[in-house]
Amino acid sequence: MSESYDFSIEELGKRNIKSPIVMSTVEGDLIANYVTDNQLVRLDTDAKPGAQSPLKKIQLMESAGPREMIYFTPAHVHAGIVSCGGLCPGVNDVIRAIVRCLWFRYGVKRISGIRYGYKGFLPEYQYGIRTLDPDKVDNIHKLGGTYLGSARGGGKEVGKIVDAIEQLNLNMLFTIGGDGTQHGTLDIAEEVDKRRLKIALVGIPKTVDNDFSIIDRSFGFNTAVDKAVEVVAAAHMEASSAIHGIGLVKVMGRESGFIAAHTALASHEVNFVLIPEVTFNLEGSNAFLPYLQKRLKERKHAVIIVAEGALQDKLVTEKKYDEGGNLKMADVGIYLRDRIIKYFGEKNIDINLKYIDPSYIIRSAPANPGDSIYCERLGNAAVHAAMAGKTKLIIGLVNNKFVHLPIKAVITERNRVDPEGDLWRDTLDATHQPALMANNFE
């Protein structure tokens, strides 16, 4: 199938072991069936009538789930789990699901938690290993954060990481992390290949910003919106209780405005949403600040959400990067706050601006039930993939189905809010803000 070329999944070798999970291969016996490698899921669901067969551009992905024949003998497995980067609701749910699926479904009893991201593999830090079992992880999903600790960076030291993996004698590693982490997963997998090791590398994509491409949404994103909605309710109360009250809330979203747009849609109380994907001017004839002034005049108060990545093109003149390889950003919330105060100050209009930056409150929350289910199923799917010897993949949800995605297919581009699509259209409907607050695409 040439059209699915980019989506084929590598395996460590032939699968000779019968899975210890007892399932069925028969339809109609009311018992769940093993998943086969030729159960595929279509990515693209757009179609135009009269167009030529759309098959050519359809990309097909392998369904996730337990295979009848697996690669690893459970008794010989030593599995590792690592969580990297910033916090995100649901990390503990994923860890818990991996441990429980390995232990109860496959009988794997050697599971090691790596501390503080990839740095936990590096001998100079001496963070040690946390041995995992179902008892230890039984209630961790009720807490936020990550049970293993997390940190940015360390992923460039591929040689040392694989040395550590060899010393620990791991034969599968689950990496919970974002774009940078999954780049690292791929680098590790390639070093593993070079050393002719048989180690399955399976990634679980984590980004509270929801900016992973291809997948329906990232875990923790819905929880983040839940919490952001609470914060916007506070901002709205502050704004509407004050004279010329302005509530300004900064939410996460380095390159995408998904949290901002969804929060505006859910809260029904936002008047302006500012996101990286839609350029805007602050001052001038068709610009944000005059529109804000108009809103204040008509309605006496206003609520604004700004995604952290908005306006960066104007604010950042010199590019710097953090340990995790992420571009360092200017603080658009503070900048906007000061600009708004200055603007109205110059016009002698009294305003009451309340600025809220709730980032840490949002990302450290325990997963809501919807995300908890998602994480549970991601973790299960990751274990089934690794036990089958599949590698260099991440688990994704595509058109509501769990699939295997080659890492390299996912990390090449980011998911962004389409300014001409229905999400942004409905966001504008909800806020009543102008379609564009800029001229000539300045």
Q: How far is the CB of 434 from a second copy (least distance, A)?
A: 10
Q: Which of 113, 144, 155, 178 binds a second copy (CB under 8 A)?
A: 144
| Residue burial 114-153, b: 16+ Cβ < 10 Å; e: rest | bbbbbbbbbeeeebeebebeeebbeebbeebbbbbbbbbb
197 binds a second copy (CB under 8 A): no
133 as an active site residue: the answer is no
Burial-class residue 18 by CB neighbours within 10 Å (0-12, 13-18, 19+).
Answer: exposed
> Shortest approach of a second copy to residue 30 CB, angstroms?
4
Q: Does 357 bind a second copy (CB under 8 A)?
A: yes
| Burial track 347-356 (b if 16+ CB lie within 10 A, e otherwise) | eeeebebbbb
Of 2 and 317, the one with the shorter C-beta distance to a second copy is: 2
Beta-bridge mates of residue 337 = none
Interface characters, 261-300, with a second copy (x: CB under 8 A) = -xx-xxxx---------xx---------------------
Nearest to 145 by CA among 87, 200, 188: 87
Rounded Cα distance between 404 and 62, Å, is 5
> Is 104 a residue that touches a second copy (CB under 8 A)?
yes
| 135 scored as a contact of a second copy (CB under 8 A) | no
Distance CA 352, CA 350 (A): 7
| Selected binder of a second copy within 55, 75, 315, 327 (CB under 8 A) | 55
Tell me how far apart the alpha carbons of residues 305 and 358 are, in angstroms, rounded to a whole number: 11
C-beta closer to a second copy: residue 142 or 195: 142
Q: Which of 197, 287, 341, 356 binds a second copy (CB under 8 A)?
A: 356
Q: Does residue number 128 form part of the binding site for a second copy (CB under 8 A)?
A: no
Strands 172-177 and 245-251, bridge-based pairing: unpaired
Of residues 7 through 36, those in contact with a second copy by CB under 8 A are 22-24, 27-33, 35
Q: Among residues 93, 187, 209, 371, which one is catalytic?
A: 209
Taking the complex as a whole, how short is the minimal distance between the CB of residue 74 and a second copy, in angstroms? 16
Contact residue for a second copy among 11, 20, 58, 129 (CB under 8 A): 58
Does residue number 82 form part of the binding site for a second copy (CB under 8 A)?
A: no
151 binds a second copy per the rule CB under 8 A: yes
Is 168 one of the binding residues for a second copy (CB under 8 A)? no
Half-sphere exposure at residue 285, Cβ-oriented, CA atoms within 13 angstroms: 3
Burial 319-343 (b: 16+ CB within 10 A, else e): eeeeebebeebeebbebbbebbeeb
Q: Within its chain, how far is the Cα of 350 from the centroid?
A: 41
Check residue 42 for interaction with a second copy (CB under 8 A): yes
Query: Hey, which residues are catalytic here?
Result: 209
